[in-house]
Amino acid sequence: MFFSAGDTASSPPARAVRADDVVLTGDRPTGVLHLGHYAGSLANRVALQGRCTQTLLIADLQALTDASGHAAHVAAHVEEVALDYLAAGIDPAVTTIAVQSRLPALAELTVLYLNLVTVARLERNPTVKAEVELRGFARDIPAGFLCYPVSQAADITGFLATLVPVGEDQLPMIEQTNEIVRRVNRLAGAPDDAPVLTECRALLSSTPRLPGVDGRKASKSLGNAIPLSASADDIRRLVHAMYTDPGHVRASDPGRVEGNVVFAYLEAFDPDAAAVEELEARYRRGGLGDATVKRRLVDVLEQLVAPMRARRAAFANDRGYVRDILREGTARGDEVTRQVLRSVRRAFALDE
């Protein structure tokens, strides 16, 4: 799903984006953002600023679909995610940051769209299937979770998004959204050249998913991710703990670069790609110790994170300002989504 604090796969090829595109991404506020989010998505969002219309949706309602028992935790992380955005360089004057639960039009769109999708169709959704398995819901899947592709369609269409950055595995979500779009247009009897809603395109990522420091999937609960707000000490400690090549015992031994987390991070963040390639060649041949490569990575990450850390600290000292940003972004989102709701309601013959 494209709103996931665990989702790190997304790097739009620049040529796929048009100036009149409306891009929607966002995050579930279930934890602070980490370097995986930065490499996979946040860096691209910063790069997209000013090149097209962009909204970041803090998907707190969607976070409740599998965490309604942790509502307070989700609520507390809405501002943390906003701080991470600002720290990463998102400019709220250019990019709209909105809070999902404060946009009532999205709930209304969801309820309307539920009539256009069958239960069988939702159950067939591969992303839902996979997530159900992953979370071990089995038969006890919350109804909100089964219905979340519909809620996601409400988000995408509510913002009139034309381009949605997703991973390969999330393509069924885009398909489901476009099915709903076509049904609304048919319901409205809209002519092909003036549809009520327009279909969206997927912006497929080419960036491989950045692993956690232990080589497993980066996850807050495993404590294996490097938060954007990491201190210099955190970075040293986490890089030190990184999984490399267990067969690479002495510096003189030949080592494996594939599956080696240190090199995965260097590839993602070291601005000197040629130097990284050379290091990899030396590591493969033998004669390069883990300690040396890790020292380089610590420097690279510290240079990346230090300015974010400083920005985050400044914004964290001015919570009122952060709340203002969320209030203004949400007000803009409210206006857009209400306007879309009005036209969808007309399609359902629900004009007042």
- Binding footprint of its own copies on the chain (CB under 8 A): 60-61, 64-65, 68-69, 71-72, 74-75, 101-102, 104-105, 107-108, 110-112, 114-120, 122, 139-147, 150-151, 187, 345, 347-352
Sheet holding 96-99, edge to edge: 96-99, 53-58, 22-27, 163-166, 201-204
Q: How many CB atoms lie within 10 A of CB 218?
A: 23
Nearer to its own copies, 257 or 347 (CB): 347
Nearer to its own copies, 176 or 244 (CB): 176
Question: What dihedral angle (degrees, nearest 10) is formed by the CA atoms of 310, 63, 4, 2?
Answer: -120
CA dist 145 and 135 (Å) reads 11
CB of 57 to its own copies, least distance (A): 15
CB of 138 to its own copies, least distance (A): 9
CB of 317 to its own copies, least distance (A): 22
Nearer to its own copies, 123 or 278 (CB): 123
CB of 192 to its own copies, least distance (A): 20
CB of 151 to its own copies, least distance (A): 7
Taking alpha carbons only, the member of 149, 136, 60, 44 closest to residue 102 is 60
Spatial contact of 345 and 265, defined as CB atoms under 8 Å apart: no
Nearer to its own copies, 121 or 216 (CB): 121
Nearer to its own copies, 74 or 257 (CB): 74
CA dist 227 and 273 (Å) reads 23
CB of 22 to its own copies, least distance (A): 23
Nearer to its own copies, 124 or 285 (CB): 124
Taking alpha carbons only, the member of 87, 6, 73 closest to residue 45 is 87
Please name the residues in contact with 285: beta carbons below 8 A apart, sequence gap of 6 or more: 254
